[in-house]
Amino acid sequence: MSDETTEATGAAESGGADGGSGRRVRVVLVDDHRMFRTGVQAEIGRTEVTGVEVVGEAADVDQAVTVITATRPEVVLLDVHLPGGGGVEVLRRSASMMGDAENPVRFLALSVSDAAEDVIGVIRGGARGYVTKTITGTDLVDSIFRVQDGDAVFSPRLAGFVLDAFASTDAPPVDEDLDRLTQREREVLRLIARGYAYKEIAKQLFISVKTVESHVSAVLRKLQLSNRHELTRWATARRLV
């Protein structure tokens, strides 16, 4: 973790990150590196300041499923590479809790990986977002609250992947609704990839932050549901052989 987190980056958006809003969120950390868990805990775990309460930790798939079932957190920070099948396996086994109508468990993927199939894999597995571990503490808290609200969180890199995967091709879409990004969605993704925060995107495009969020959620849905041939091919083309 970088020590830039102590600086105000300007990237943090809402005042939600200072806990002033009095919001609370219950979080489980799933990561096989103890040092990293400790680091995240130190950065975001001061509940009175951040509003984040870490209610459990796990270091592998089985543990994660057990802890998540026992504590029923609102948000799970999920590492992509885990012993026992990886983050995707945790998502698969928590599907029922994700779909719970009363209090769903939502997942935010957190990884050092840059591999496209890792990123796209966990998103298609049901995670509501993907951020890299270099994210600052403030931004991470912000992302957690965003996921708690049911919104999607895209890092610039993920936005770049999605733009790449949905790049305009001559191939006719199988499902018009799912296989294409609208012009507006494309603009929003482009700005995310350029490092803009949601609030800045809203200003830039003269729309509300809520509208930006709904565009991003729509993209997330397409990413999870599209059976677009190119998407699969694109991810395989970038596989490590």
Q: Which residues bind other proteins (CB under 8 A)?
A: 2, 4, 7, 9-11, 88-89, 92, 95, 113-115, 117, 120-121, 123-126, 134, 136, 156-157, 159-160, 163-164, 167-168, 190, 193-197, 199-200, 203-204, 224-225, 231-232, 235-241
CB of 240 to other proteins, least distance (A): 7
Classify burial at 232, counting beta carbons within 10 Å of its beta carbon; exposed 0-12, middle 13-18, buried 19 or more.
middle
CB of 49 to other proteins, least distance (A): 20
**Closest CB to other proteins among 24 and 92?**
92
CB of 47 to other proteins, least distance (A): 26
CB of 20 to other proteins, least distance (A): 19
**Closest CB to other proteins among 163 and 218?**
163
Classify burial at 24, counting beta carbons within 10 Å of its beta carbon; exposed 0-12, middle 13-18, buried 19 or more.
middle
Residue in 8, 45, 41 with CA at minimum distance from that of residue 25: 45
**Closest CB to other proteins among 7 and 177?**
7
Residue identified by tokens 């057990």 is: 66
**Closest CB to other proteins among 50 and 136?**
136
* Torsions phi, psi for 31 (to 5 deg): -160, 140
**Closest CB to other proteins among 71 and 217?**
217
CB of 203 to other proteins, least distance (A): 5
Q: Are the CB atoms for 141 and 19 separated by under 8 Å?
A: no
CA-to-CA dists, residue 83 to 38, 66, 88, 227, angstroms: 19, 15, 11, 28
Task: Tell me 173's DSSP state.
Answer: P
